[in-house]
Amino acid sequence: MDVRLSDVVARHFWGVHQQIKQHDFTYYVENGGRGSTKSSFISLEIPQLLLRNPDCHAVVLRKVGNTIKNSVYPQMQWGIEQLGLTSKFKFITSPHEITYKKTGQKILFFGVDDPTKVKSIKLPFGYIGIVWFEELDQFAGMEEIRNLNQSLLRGGPRYWWFGSYNPPKSRDAWVNSEMLFDDPDRLVHHTTYLDVPR
């Protein structure tokens, strides 16, 4: 990569970037309102992780599959472009999939409204080492998340799990309650649009 990360990553995320690079945690949760650039940050991290871990593939999830084409897929394209790596990846939209040409590593996109697709993922080699739950609060709850993790996070030595969401206003929302629990293998990082340089 010939792009300086400090040019594309907001300063508020630099510490988290180092923790991801060092694998200080398995689970990274980014929460914040619109304009906090949490999704942009994750879309910059995933391609870098693929390049540093040639046995890994990535899976990006939305609760509803038909939201992929206008959300996480173009967001991942943006992240790859910002890193100056567009020519090194192949992009297809039926199904939505991004492949690192040099190794064949894949970024796969699924909606969990058809859970059979998630359970029947076939990879050419390696394992799913990176998972991103976008709009985490739209999933049904921790039981659904754990079931999906069991299908996805297996067969490898280490994983990076990302969740991103706008915190619901209700304190009783499952995702707000879950983030109150202390998990030594999870980093919860909050941002707002005020943290982002103009």
Catalytic pick among 81, 135, 143, 144: 135
Residue 70 backbone phi and psi in degrees, to 5: -110, 10
Would you state the structure tokens that stand for residue 128, as one six-digit string?
């799913």
State whether residue 67 is helix, strand or coil: helix
Location of structure tokens 């100056």? 84
Q: Any idea what the Cα angle at residue 66 is, between residues 64 and 69, rounded to 5°?
A: 120
Check if 135 is active-site: yes
Query: What own/partner pairs with CB < 8 Å and gap ≥ 24 does 34-38 have?
Result: 34/166, 34/193, 35/192, 35/193, 35/196, 36/191, 36/192, 36/193, 36/195, 36/196, 37/10, 37/13, 37/191, 37/196, 38/164, 38/191
Catalytic residue numbers read: 135
